[in-house]
């Protein structure tokens, strides 16, 4: 009798477990990937809500604000156009790149073919493709520390896109000091540099930031949109025109959708063991 009761109890436990599993399994089955094509017809807020309802977990840096809505709208448009894919994410702000990865995951969108035969308009590709390019962004490229991080990373300071362009430049100066350099920011493009000096330029748009770096002539500028190929700017001055995130990946060029149109700050810096010391410099602001 006891053996029969034990067997019956075991069967009941299995039945209860099976019944409790059905709703969860059904819920997962009903949650299809969000169709990017359908999202493109919605407003930014509607896109965000649809993605959240289908399992999108936002990175901590994002809140329910205008920046978040604009970021989602930009990413969805780029995915739909084939500008952004699992392999190709041409953003520099680390949280924006992470959000793109999560939206791609929720949408189940591995790739869409971009328009073929695009020719870069404002830059020229430097060399050929290397898989190492995916590991660092424009900031890492410009200061020669090949990591995918934001200004403030090397000096242990926080960063967000609501900062002014001047405040972002201040973070760069602090990072460079932590890395062994003296430096200062200026809104004026240098006409030339001493042989021990280096220069980078920073500019921001509505959802992302971008860097360029110059040579000692201050007339030759290169840059690297997100995890893509380094490019040479076709003009002698970063301020010649608005920047975009057009890019080249694996020897194929793609049209960008982001513009960087803020004022430009230049950060001039040099190793601490050479050149003048800060207390003997009249910094140009």
For residue range 232-281, what is the model confidence (pLDDT) as tens digits?
999 999 999 999 999 999 999 999 889 999 999 999 999 998 867 765 55
- Please tell me the predicted confidence (pLDDT) of residue 3: 47
- Determine how many CB atoms are found less than 10 A away from the CB of residue 107: 22
Instruction: Assign 141 a pLDDT band (cuts: 50, 70, 90).
Output: very high
pLDDT tops 50 at residue 24: no
What is the mean pLDDT of the segment spanning 127-155? 98
- Please tell me the predicted confidence (pLDDT) of residue 63: 86
Task: Looking at the chain, list the stretches that DSSP marks H as alpha helix, in order from N- to C-terminal side.
Answer: 2-30, 36-39, 44-53, 66-81, 94-107, 138-143, 165-178
Quick one: what percent of the chain has pLDDT higher than 70?
Answer: 82
Instruction: Assign 28 a pLDDT band (cuts: 50, 70, 90).
Output: very low
Flag the least confident range among 20-29, 78-87, 212-221.
20-29
Q: Where are the domains of the chain?
A: 36-107, 123-280
Q: What does pLDDT average to over the chain?
A: 87
Residue-wise pLDDT for 33-84, tens only, equals 677 878 888 999 999 999 999 999 999 999 878 999 999 999 999 999 889 9
- Please tell me the predicted confidence (pLDDT) of residue 115: 54
- Please tell me the predicted confidence (pLDDT) of residue 32: 57
pLDDT tops 60 at residue 207: yes
- For residues 151 and 93, give the distance between their C-alpha atoms in angstroms, rounded to a whole number: 9
Contact yes or no for 96/257 (Cβ under 8 A): no
List, as one string, the DSSP characters of 73-135.
HHHHHHHHHTSS-SS-----SHHHHHHHHHHHHHHT----PPPTT---SSEEE-S---GGGGG
Beta bridge partners of residue 210, listed in sequence order: 203
Flag whether the pTM goes above 0.75.
yes
- For residues 203 and 186, give the distance between their C-alpha atoms in angstroms, rounded to a whole number: 13
pLDDT tops 70 at residue 112: no
């Amino acid at each position: 009798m006891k053996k029969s009761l034990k067997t019956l109890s075991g069967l009941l436990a299995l039945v209860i477990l099976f019944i409790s599993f059905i709703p969860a399994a059904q819920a997962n089955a009903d949650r299809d990937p969000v169709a990017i094509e359908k999202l493109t017809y919605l407003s930014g807020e509607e896109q965000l809500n649809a993605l959240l309802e289908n399992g999108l977990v936002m990175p901590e840096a994002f809140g329910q604000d205008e920046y978040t809505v604009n970021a989602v709208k930009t990413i969805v448009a780029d995915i739909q156009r084939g500008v952004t894919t699992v392999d190709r994410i041409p953003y520099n702000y680390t949280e924006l790149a992470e959000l793109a990865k999560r939206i791609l995951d929720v949408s189940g969108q591995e790739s869409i073919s971009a328009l073929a035969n695009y020719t870069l308009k404002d830059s020229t590709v430097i060399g050929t493709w290397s898989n190492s390019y995916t590991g660092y962004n424009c900031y890492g490229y410009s200061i020669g520390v090949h990591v995918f991080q934001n200004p403030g990373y090397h000096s242990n300071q926080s960063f967000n896109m609501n900062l002014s362009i001047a405040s972002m430049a201040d973070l760069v100066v602090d990072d460079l000091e932590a890395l062994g350099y003296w430096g200062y920011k200026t809104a004026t493009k240098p006409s030339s540099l001493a042989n021990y000096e280096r220069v980078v330029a920073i500019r921001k748009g509505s959802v992302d930031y971008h860097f360029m770096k110059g040579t000692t002539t201050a007339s030759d500028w290169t840059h690297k949109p997100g995890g893509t190929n380094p490019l040479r700017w076709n003009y002698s001055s970063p301020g010649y025109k608005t920047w975009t995130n057009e890019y080249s990946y694996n020897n194929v060029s793609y049209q960008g959708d982001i513009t960087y149109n803020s004022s430009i700050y230049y950060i001039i810096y040099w190793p601490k063991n050479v050149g003048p010391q800060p207390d003997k410099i009249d910094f140009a602001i």
